[in-house]
Amino acid sequence: MAALQTSLFDDAPAPTLTPLAPTRHPLTRGAWVDLQPGWLSGGDEVFDRLQRDVPWQAERRQMYDRVVDVPRLTRFYAEHEPLPHPVITSARDALSAHYADELGEPFATAGLCLYRDGRDSVAWHGDRIGRSREQDTMIAIISLGAERVLALRPRDGGSARRFTLGHGDLVVMGGSCQRTWDHAVPKASGVSGPRISVQLRVRGVR
């Protein structure tokens, strides 16, 4: 019965993307981070739907000569695959339009990650599978749910930066960031609630 299916979210405010006006934080070596806290409002409904509907999978990742469990759940949406919430499509299109001149191509794929609590994390890495190994690119992330830190550190040494991402915040890593810096979401002992990260990337970059 349709009425029953929607009733769970009937009282929730509709998800809304506010106009894009991120603040740029330059890093070293032509890397930068754009931030817009609270870009998505009404994200509770989005979080609940994604947590419930996405076919989450345990992640295995090749690291050196071993395959290890990465402590978080993920789901990758390839280009043209239907996305699990319409607001992700709207966000992808708004970001593609906003960054068109600078990026030169649209955002195409969506990687979703579920950090079940503060014990889930992702270790230091750059998204260097594909063209991003040699070329500048952008990775846009919408953060939902529990506040977590996105840490960044230059690969050639130097001091790390930490950006706290809250519910509905947008962060875009750009310029040389994937090649010259690494990033991580460290374990957070005080965090008991879940976080969902939605990462938008261009074709051929992971």
Ligand X SMILES: O=C(O)CCC(=O)C(=O)O
Q: Give min distance, CB of 70 to Fe ion, in A.
A: 11
**Residue 54 binding ligand X, by CB under 6 A:** no
Q: Which does 176 bind (CB under 5 to 8 A by kind): Fe ion, ligand X, none?
A: none
Pick from 45, 127, 136, 169 the residue near Fe ion by CB under 5 A: 127
- Count how many residues are written for the chain: 206
113 binds, among ligand X, Fe ion, none (CB under 5 to 8 A by kind): ligand X
For Fe ion, the closer CB: 139 or 191: 139
**SS3 per-residue string spanning 85-122:** CHHHHHHHHHHHHHCHHHHCCCCCEEEEEEECCCCCCE
> Tokens 């506010």 appear where?
18
Residue 178 interacting with ligand X (CB under 6 A): no
Binding at 132: pick from ligand X, Fe ion, none (beta carbon under 5-8 Å per type): none
In 3D space, the residue among 128, 176, 119, 123 whose CA is nearest the CA of residue 151 turns out to be: 123
> Does 40 interact with ligand X (rule: CB under 6 A)?
no
> CA–CA separation, 168 vs 10, rounded Å?
20
Q: Is 36 in the site for ligand X (CB under 6 A)?
A: no
- Number of residues located near ligand X, criterion CB under 6 A: 10
Within the chain, where are the H helices? 2-7, 43-53, 86-98, 100-103, 177-180
Binding mask 175-194 for Fe ion (x = CB under 5 A): --------------------
Nearest residue to 125 (alpha-carbon basis) of 193, 78, 64? 64
Subset of 75-134 contacting ligand X (CB under 6 A)? 111, 113, 122, 127
Is residue 152 part of the contact set for ligand X (CB under 6 A)? no
CB of 182 to Fe ion, least distance (A): 9
Assess 200 for contact with ligand X (CB under 6 A): no
User: What is the Cβ-side half-sphere exposure of residue 106, based on CA atoms within 13 angstroms?
Assistant: 13
Positions that interact with Fe ion (CB under 5 A) = 127
Positions that interact with ligand X (CB under 6 A) = 111, 113, 122, 127, 141, 150, 183, 185, 197, 199
